[in-house]
């Protein structure tokens, strides 16, 4: 039995507690400073999580973030980052208060960051902040892949990949969280896994645009079904671009064609918020108008990432290197209509 502290009581962090508990670990779910109301609701409603539409296991310990110090006094084996990408800095500073080198970190968060004018992974950003706070040699594993939180919480068969340069640590986590319904592969290709899982959010918006790009002269029933021709073309070209991009940042091409790349792209395109935004962009809406009118209170990870790293990418690369990525970056960052160079 290991002591696992999951910080972030949103959908993914909460769902991740299910396989961890299944393996008889001591698991605590801690809300961020923004989730006090959610934590209160979970405790009052028999661990019912509204985003997952399920009652989380009874043996899950649920607490507010101000209880972290009490929960860590006797030590913690694993700390799980179940927060959004914008919360990474807060997470790093929070765990710096009690972190020690015997504790391992599991990063569920997908995204990239700009640090000192360099594009880096979130694990690198987390490691940099911990080092600044006096913690050297932090051991961070990234768990990524096609995992919809509700599906995991309801024990739908799910596969992810654990990335750590120390493959033995990846194997340890694999044995810690794998179940009959939750299978984990392992790899030492950290940049490949992190870059693939992040940029697929941008490309899933582009592929989602296929439905909006349907020939308006065709009957509606034809538009609704046969946009898949267009979608397939964009998937093929997107994966090729992703492979080039990931390779540039020292990731392995085969990782792009695995769970963190192609697998996660499929899930995001099939039913995610990114593809929904892409549909509106394909229909000719400007990004800001689509966000305001249709997805005002919805986080669109691909658009958020595009705004964060887009200016850096458009500065460092030429459009003919990554034409599909540039089409979305200009659409989101410059609020221009979507134009794809076919």
Do 143 and 221 lie in a common domain? no
Measure CA 258 to chain center: 15
Structural domain contains residue 338: no
For residue 235, the enclosing domain spans 192-333
Q: For 104-141, what is each residue's pLDDT tens digit?
A: 999 999 999 999 999 999 999 999 999 999 999 899 99
Q: What are phi and psi of 81, to 5 degrees?
A: -90, 105
Mean predicted confidence (pLDDT) in 239-260: 98
Structural domain contains residue 274: yes
> What is the CATH classification number for the domain harbouring 92?
3.40.50.720
Q: What angle do CA 39, 40, 45 make, to 5 degrees?
A: 100
Structural domain contains residue 176: yes
Identify which of 8, 42, 254 has the alpha carbon closest to the alpha carbon of residue 110.
Answer: 8
The predicted model scores a pTM of 0.94
Structural contact between residues 169 and 146, judged by C-beta atoms closer than 8 angstroms: no
Structural domain contains residue 339: no
Structural domain contains residue 234: yes
Do 286 and 145 lie in a common domain? no
Structural domain contains residue 174: yes
Structural domain contains residue 150: yes
Domains contained in the chain, number: 2
What's the pLDDT at 211?
Answer: 83
Identify which of 69, 53, 70 has the alpha carbon closest to the alpha carbon of residue 14.
Answer: 53
Mean pLDDT across the chain? 95
Do 127 and 199 lie in a common domain? no
Structural domain contains residue 342: no
Token pair of 165 as six digits: 């340069």
């Amino acid at each position: 039995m290991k002591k696992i502290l999951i910080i972030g009581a949103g959908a993914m962090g909460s769902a991740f507690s299910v396989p961890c508990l299944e393996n008889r670990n001591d698991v605590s779910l801690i809300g961020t400073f923004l989730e006090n109301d959610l934590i209160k609701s979970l405790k009052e409603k028999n661990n019912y999580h509204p985003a997952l539409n399920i009652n989380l296991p009874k043996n899950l310990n649920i607490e507010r973030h101000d209880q972290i110090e009490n929960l860590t006094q006797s030590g913690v084996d694993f700390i799980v980052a179940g927060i959004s990408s914008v919360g990474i800095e807060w997470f790093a500073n929070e765990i710096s208060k009690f972190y020690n080198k015997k504790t391992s970190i599991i990063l569920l968060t997908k995204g990239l960051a700009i640090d000192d004018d360099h594009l880096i992974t979130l694990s690198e950003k987390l490691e940099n902040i911990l080092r600044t706070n006096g913690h050297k040699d932090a051991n961070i594993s990234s768990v990524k892949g096609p995992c919809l939180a509700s599906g995991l919480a309801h024990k739908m068969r799910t596969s992810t990949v654990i990335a750590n340069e120390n493959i033995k640590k990846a194997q340890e986590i694999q044995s810690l969280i794998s179940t009959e319904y939750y299978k984990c592969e392992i790899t030492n290709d950290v940049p490949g896994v992190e870059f693939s899982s992040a940029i697929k959010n941008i490309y899933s918006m582009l592929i989602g645009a296929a439905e909006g790009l349907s020939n308006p002269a065709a009957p509606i029933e034809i538009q609704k079904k046969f946009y898949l021709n267009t979608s397939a073309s964009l998937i093929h070209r997107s994966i090729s671009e992703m492979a080039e991009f990931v390779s540039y940042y020292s990731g392995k091409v085969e990782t792009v064609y695995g769970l963190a790349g192609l697998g996660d792209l499929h899930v995001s395109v099939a039913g995610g918020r990114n593809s929904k935004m892409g549909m509106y962009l394909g229909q000719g809406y400007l990004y800001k108008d689509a966000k305001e009118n249709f997805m005002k209170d919805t986080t669109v990870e691909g658009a958020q990432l595009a705004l964060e790293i887009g200016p850096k990418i458009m500065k460092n690369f030429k459009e003919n290197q990554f034409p599909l990525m540039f089409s979305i970056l200009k659409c989101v960052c410059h609020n221009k209509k979507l134009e794809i160079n076919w």
